[in-house]
């Protein structure tokens, strides 16, 4: 029974370790997404600064620069669209990873439940065997006691017969 408790504790520690590992992976995924989002925001802010400086240059120069500014704005919009697609792609990948992690956790939980059930079945079988052994030992003890009682009675009868014979010879 102590071995079963130790094994159950070991299995519980394994389950907790797996949960901790899963949580670390999820936190790592969230950190990467947040970093990518933050990097994109910084880059967008930087690009917006560039656009504003180009607009300021447009106001100062006023001749021929409007085409360059419109190109820069268009390029920035394309860049933003690419960044948005990248963010969307990263989100989809994160959701896929989370789904896979959930599936793995569910599978591990199912396996651990099966192991636990098997352990409980083994414990029950061992209890039944021990109970059977105890019954057998009790039966053997009772038979032994009965045999000893029979021998004791036989010895008493034999002693009494021998005493009677000795008394008759006297």
> How far from each other are the two terminal CA atoms of the chain, in whole angstroms?
68
pLDDT tens digits for 69-98? 788 889 999 999 999 999 999 999 999 999
Identify the DSSP state of 64: S
Tell me the pTM: 0.37
- % of the chain beyond a pLDDT of 90: 51
Give the angle 11-12-16 at the CA atoms, nearest 5°.
115
User: What are the structural domain ranges in the chain?
Assistant: 2-128
């Amino acid at each position: 029974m102590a071995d079963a408790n130790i094994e159950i504790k070991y299995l519980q520690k394994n389950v907790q370790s797996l949960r901790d590992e899963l949580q670390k992976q999820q936190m790592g995924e969230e950190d990467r997404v947040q970093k990518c989002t933050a990097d994109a925001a910084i880059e967008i802010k930087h690009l917006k600064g560039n656009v504003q400086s180009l607009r300021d240059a447009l106001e100062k120069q006023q001749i021929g620069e409007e085409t360059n500014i419109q190109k820069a704005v268009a390029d920035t919009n394309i860049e933003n669209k690419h960044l948005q697609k990248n963010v969307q792609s990263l989100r989809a990948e994160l959701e896929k990873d989370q789904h896979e992690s959930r599936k793995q956790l569910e599978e591990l939980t199912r396996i651990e439940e099966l192991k636990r059930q098997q352990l409980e079945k083994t414990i029950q079988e061992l209890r039944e065997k021990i109970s059977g052994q105890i019954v057998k030992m009790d039966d053997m003890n009772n038979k032994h006691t009965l045999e000893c009682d029979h021998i004791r009675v036989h010895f008493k009868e034999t002693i009494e017969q021998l005493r009677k014979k000795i008394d008759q010879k006297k």
